[in-house]
Amino acid sequence: GILDRCVFVGWTNPKVCHRIIDVFLDTFPVGNGLSAGESMSIGIPIVSMEKIHNLKQYIFEPVRKGWFGEEQKKKFDEITKDGGYFSYTNRDDYIATAVRLASDKEFHKKASEVSLALAFAFLFDAKAAATIFVDVIDDIVKRKRLGPP
């Protein structure tokens, strides 16, 4: 239902194109990192799949699950309490959300607010980013010391 409203152009300069897109559809099975973060920083909603190598896999899912502490989890929960965070396990939900974001202005507006808030709470806040980085390193060291599961 959206093919007539989409333009597929291949690789582009993200600093230019992020300003003209409405929704960032994270690729799968290998996702994006910096490009997704740049999109979020200007309020573009992101739709992605879980369990792929992407920004959500390495930052937002661990925060959501409380791996980086209760304070970070509470912050994430507060930002996303009314929705706007899209990470799916199946393609049908991924596609349905992309279509809804493209066609429902209020839904898109809320998702844009959430993207922007998440970007500045976890990606572009130096203290939060440093805390997450240190927690990830601590987790890796703990797992290494414990050995294989």
Q: Tens of pLDDT along 51-104?
A: 666 777 777 878 888 877 788 889 989 998 888 788 888 889 999 999 999 999
pLDDT score of 49 more than 70 = yes
What's residue 110's pLDDT?
A: 94
What's residue 51's pLDDT?
A: 67
Kindly give, in sequence order, each residue whose CB lies less than 8 Å from that of residue 76, ignoring residues fewer than 6 positions away: 60, 63, 64, 118, 121, 122
pTM of the model: 0.74
Are the CB atoms for 119 and 37 separated by under 8 Å? yes
Copy the structure tokens of residue 33.
């990192």
Higher-scoring residue by pLDDT: 140, 100 = 100
